[in-house]
Amino acid sequence: MPRKELLSRRFEVKDSLEAIEFYFQKGWTDGLPVVPPTEDRIWEMLDYVKKEPDEIIGQIPVRRRVITAEKIAINAVMAGCLPAYMPVILAAVEALCDPAFSVHGPMTSTSGMGILLIINGPVIQDLDINAGENLFGPGRRANATLGRVIRLILMNVCGAIPGVLDRSVLGHPGKYSYCIAENESVSPWEPLHVEKGFPKEISTVTVFAGDAPHQVYNTLSRTPEGILTTLADVMGNLGRLTIHPNGEFVVVIGYEHMKRIAEAGWTKSDVRRFLAEKARRSIADIKRCGRMAGDITPEDEKTLYPIVQNLEDILVIAAGGSAGSVSACIPGWTGIEHSRSVTKPIIY
């Protein structure tokens, strides 16, 4: 059966450097140089996942946008991805287009949320995805390019151009690239995808619209209560996007904290339960900063307002390096249409 033709418009340039500058001029980059998407490179991506160029992978009806395999492949080349990364990208795009994720909200919001990818399963080892030291930082091709391709797709296919559709006031570095894996090889707990009902041997990607990581330091406490009280305090910060308990949090438990918590016999369920109970602020505090209307009453000083509504709104991830007592929390996006994290299987 003969190959279908690529559908995207072609441009002739004299060399790769001119191609890179051409993409800058057209506004098709994230501000960094891209790999020129030649026809051969695009077909390498498509052939790896046995997709035809015009196959629809996802749609965003509110934006009247259709995301085809060809457009994904083009942006994957631009981001510096290997063909082996394509199954992860396809699953991530499917998750982005799930109505529960409500991608239009976080990609256009003034709050500047990034799209975090959380990878689980055997694909972590197969693609060398970082789950340990320098977790949110540079140094690993898979993390950097998988996170980057999602931003390029949002910009070039979905129209989330900074200053046009993307109206972030500040943004954050995760809007360049935001991809981590759970450190399943050292974690004493069930990984995220198993908690969500997938077999351990299945690989998955979870998409989460979130703020930048808020690092949480506690080097002295040796108890789960002490460590998690510190985390709960950061979760209850009055400067979050919303103080209403209708969003999600990703809580990344670093190695040293994870070890101490697990040695005390605590499970992820115990962690969620404790955080949900302790991550609260008094109504008086909320009113003092003007984020809740009304005069402060004596009862307000004693009445605690919850930060999360359900235990399932806290996604606990075991990840990060082993050289310090550090964890992190990432508040999720909430708006008129709340974005919920979505997990999809990776077929490869």
Residues 6 or more apart in contact with residue 277 via CB below 8 angstroms: none
Using CA of residue 183, residue 188, residue 193, residue 198, what is the dihedral sign? positive
Query: Tens digits of per-residue pLDDT, 227-271?
Result: 999 999 999 988 877 777 778 999 999 999 999 999 999 999 999
| Residue 286 near residue 292 (C-beta atoms within 8 A) | yes
Provide the pLDDT for residue 70.
Answer: 97
The ranges assigned to domains in the chain are 1-211+341-348, 213-331
pLDDT of 111: 86
| pLDDT in the model for residue 109 | 87
Task: Mention every residue, 6+ apart, whose C-beta is less than 8 A from residue 238.
Answer: 281, 285, 286, 289, 291
**Average of per-residue pLDDT values in the chain:** 94
What pLDDT, on the 0 to 100 scale, is given for residue 243?
74
Q: What is the pLDDT of residue 337?
A: 62
Closest CA to 148 of 46, 30, 52: 30
User: DSSP letter string over 197-220?
Assistant: T--TTS-EEEEEEE---EEEE-SS
pTM (two decimals): 0.95
The pLDDT assigned to 1 comes to: 57
- Token pair, residue 11, equals 């441009």
pLDDT in 10s for each residue of the chain, 348 residues? 567 889 899 999 999 999 999 999 999 999 999 999 999 999 999 999 999 999 999 999 887 889 999 999 999 999 999 999 999 999 999 999 999 999 988 888 888 899 999 999 999 999 999 999 999 999 999 999 999 999 999 999 999 999 898 999 999 999 999 999 999 999 999 999 999 999 999 999 999 999 999 999 999 999 999 999 999 999 998 887 777 777 899 999 999 999 999 999 999 999 999 999 999 999 999 999 988 899 999 999 999 999 898 999 999 999 999 988 999 999 998 755 678 999 999 998
Cα dist. 242→41, 103, 283 in Å?
43, 18, 14
- Tokens found for residue 18: 């001119």
